Amino acid sequence: MKIVCVMPIYKRPAITIKTLELLKKQELPIHIITIGSCDIDRKTAESVGVEYLQRPNRPLSDKWQYGIYYARQYDPEAIMICGSDAWLTTNWCKVAYKYINDGFDMVGKRDFYTCYLAPNKKVEIIGRTYKTRKDPVGSGRLISKSILNKLNWKLYPSSINASMDGKSFKRLESKNCRLKIITDRDDLIVLSLKSSEWETITPYTKIANHGMFKNLADVGNPADWFNAHFPGAVKELKDIVPTVII
């Protein structure tokens, strides 16, 4: 097996279902493991036909790590981390895996898009990238079996509820992680979906205004952008926020 995707989930079934359905369309097939914490999560995973594990939602790092340990039994060449509100273009795994195959230990992008969906309001889509951080954005990062073996698959520190991306990267760096940041593929996109209709760990306003990010060009015509990168997305988003203006 080439890639196992590990996705922690917690409530917000509508957006999670759409995210999982899109992941199942990856051009390079992947196995998806979800780790939830309640009956809503179990029903969400079952409705899409993906594997489901259950752990307490806190500490978050322990929940996420449980999924990493579980993924090891499949002996994948890489794992991929993905949030339940993060959409990846369908070419993501196919492109990123080539770098794993070339010997890189972590593959991803530092630039990303975030959209905000609210009833009776026009959707907003902004582009951002890290100013100084070396690691890729959390969702979509591929991590090789080779470097996970060096960590005995212990990717996350125990008992933390924040900064999992940065702290896991420090653990990878301690094992001389060979990092590949993809910079030449504008068609390779990770999109974080925020809304007033579901809870988020990092609010849209924080991403829009935080000093750690550099602004990229914002999207002026959301409908055309969605049609180009996520065909069918306009309908899918209106299924979960019916009165959003796109």
- The token pair that represents 69 in the structure block: 């340990």
Per DSSP, 219 falls in state P
- Can you give the pLDDT at residue 26? 98
Q: What is the pLDDT of residues 174-192, one digit of tens each?
A: 999 999 999 999 999 999 9
Which run of H or of E encompasses 234?
Answer: helix 233-240
- Can you give the pLDDT at residue 218? 82
Compute the radius of gyration of the chain from its Cα atoms: 17
- Can you give the pLDDT at residue 8? 98
Give the chain's domains with CATH numbers.
Answer: 3-240 (3.90.550.10)
Beta bridge partners of 144: 78
Q: Any idea of the CA torsion for 110, 77, 62, 172, to the nearest 10 degrees?
A: -50
CA angle 193, 126, 169 (to 5 degrees): 70
- Can you give the pLDDT at residue 217? 79
Q: Any idea of the CA torsion for 234, 235, 241, 243, to the nearest 10 degrees?
A: 80
- Can you give the pLDDT at residue 75? 98
**Bond prior to 59 in cis (omega within 30° of 0):** yes
Amino acid type, 148: L
Of 41, 52, 44, give the one whose Cα is nearest residue 21: 44
Compute the distance between CA of residue 234 and CA of residue 226 in angstroms, rounded to an integer: 7
- Can you give the pLDDT at residue 89? 98
- Can you give the pLDDT at residue 12? 96
Query: Which residues, 6+ apart, have CB-to-CB distance to 205 below 8 Å?
Result: none
Residues with pLDDT less than 70, the chain? none
Query: Which residues, 6+ apart, have CB-to-CB distance to 46 below 8 Å?
Result: 52
Amino acid type, 246: I
